[in-house]
Homo-oligomer: A and B are copies of this chain.
Amino acid sequence: MEKKLQELRGRLREISDLRSATSVLYWDQTTYMPPGGAPARAQQVATLSRLAQEKFIDPALGKLLDDLAGYEAELPYDSDEASLIRITRREYERATKVPPQFVADFYGHVAESYEVWAKARPENDFAATFPYLQKTLDFSRQYADFYPGYEHIADPLIDDADYGMKAETVRQLFAQLRQQLVPLVQTITDQPVADDSCLREFYPEEKQLAFGRQVIEDFGYDFNRGRQDKTPHPYMIGFSVNDVRITTRVKENKLDEALFGTLHESGHAMYQLGINPDYEGTPLARGVSSGVHESQSRLWENQVGRSRAFWDHYFPKLQETFPDQLDRVSLDDFYRAINKVQRSLIRTESDEVTYNLHVMIRFDLELAMLEGQLAIEDLPDAWHARYESDLGCRAPDDRDGVLQDMHWFDGFIGGAFQGYTLGNIMSAMFFDQAISECPQIPEEIGRGEFGTLHGWLKENIYRHGRKFTAEELVQRVTGGPITIEPYMRYLRSKFGELYSL
């Protein structure tokens, strides 16, 4: 068995090396690659992805997993070895269900679809994307059908990002959340909107970047094992458990964009950097799911980075960095500015309270399309109708309507959005639990100290990598199932105080 396990590890390591190299190719492409490199780069990425996929769906790997099943059954469920075999099998079974030709066809299609969207969005030309979106929906349904026996056609797609979650579970969670959020948004937006003009002064790029770097270094993001570069869209990417990088986008007249983006991505990165190094080169060396990953980025961005305690410590430092812009701004006003709540059209620019309404609109539309209840041609109007009913505003065009997110133009319809809100819900559960076990955390945040929180997250979440499902992890950490109560409590308490509700 020892020998078979070693062979399994060897094969997984090779696949992991190919995938890491593909990630480096992507990182280079978005940061430093000269434009001329693009065609060859697409070809290189395609070749390496294909080789990794071929090696992963190799029947010899399936055979090894079969041979190891008896051995696995004798080990504790949460042991490293049993988990390695279990998670590898889970991913192997998912991967082998989909014919390679389908994968190739689909990636060929989305590459085109993305290009069409990138051109159509600025031109407000939904019609141009229509045939692509229709084809994407067909692909998405076919994909679901490779996993027969699902309860809801979206389930196999949701599984990809948030393994174990079902359309029905998510729908119920979201329904509860919506029921509480809609009146909260109403109460808040009945009041005058906060003034955030202080964030719109001129903030030179270099100083913004230096300030953000200092904060995430204080968080515990290790620049010896990571770095930050600029890209048009911020993201986190890992090439090993000891090389996890982030990117950011800076706007010199929008102080919050790079700053909170940096805190957000550092949360993703610290998660990956905290994975047990023994998992390197295996499927365990990743985060649990899209939702759990998002819970870690949101926790540092929002629960920490937009908290009053945090700014007690950092606002004087921010004023020192930008005296001309901020010397006459009070901490109270700044705190209100970075937590301004407003009904708005763009998901990525929305606040903590309304954000989830944006996500739920997309989630519901995905389900309706997959169910065949909503035709692609009716999608733009359905979008506008839901924005009017849920957020009380209507985009003047499709550019800021259905064309605003790249997700449906760059991947499947289904499973693309729920992780954001699941992440928000879990971030509050985890943060609550951390504080109940280490009540000194809020005070430490007020002193710019994050060691206790970071250590707790490492011990309870990071180090496990992909060993558990989201539901298992939440159960282990909080002792119960996923629930919206901590999140709603957090929002009510924070925004209740801000808006004297």
Contact = CB atoms under 8 A, between A and B. Distances in A.
A240 B41 CA distance: 8
Contacts of A17: 43-44, 47-48
A495 B420 CA distance: 71
B239 A36 contact: no
Interface in A323-357: none
Interface string A7-18: 000000110011
- Give how many copies assemble into the complex: 2
A222 B227 CA distance: 28
B41 A239 contact: yes
B227 A36 contact: no
Contact of A40 (B226, B227, B243): B243
A9 to B, nearest CB: 12
A197 B243 CA distance: 43
A221 to B, nearest CB: 11
A111 to B, nearest CB: 17
A150 interface: no
A239 to B, nearest CB: 6
Residue with the highest number of chain B CB atoms closer than 10 Å, among A17, A39, A241? A17
Interface in A57-79: none
A84 to B, nearest CB: 18
Residue with the highest number of chain B CB atoms closer than 10 Å, among A27, A36, A226? A36
A23 to B, nearest CB: 10
A225 B36 contact: yes
B239 A40 contact: yes
A452 interface: no
A18 B225 CA distance: 25
Contact of A240 (B27, B40, B223, B239): B40
A307 interface: no
7 contacts: A14-B51, A20-B40, A27-B28, A36-B224, A36-B226, A37-B243, A40-B242
Given A24-B24, A36-B243, A37-B242, 18 more contacts: A14-B51, A17-B48, A18-B48, A18-B51, A21-B44, A24-B28, A24-B44, A32-B32, A32-B227, A32-B229, A34-B243, A35-B224, A36-B222, A36-B224, A37-B243, A41-B239, A41-B240, A44-B240
Q: Which 6 A-B residue pairs are closest in the complex by CB-CB distance?
A: A40-B240, A37-B243, A36-B225, A36-B242, A17-B47, A17-B44
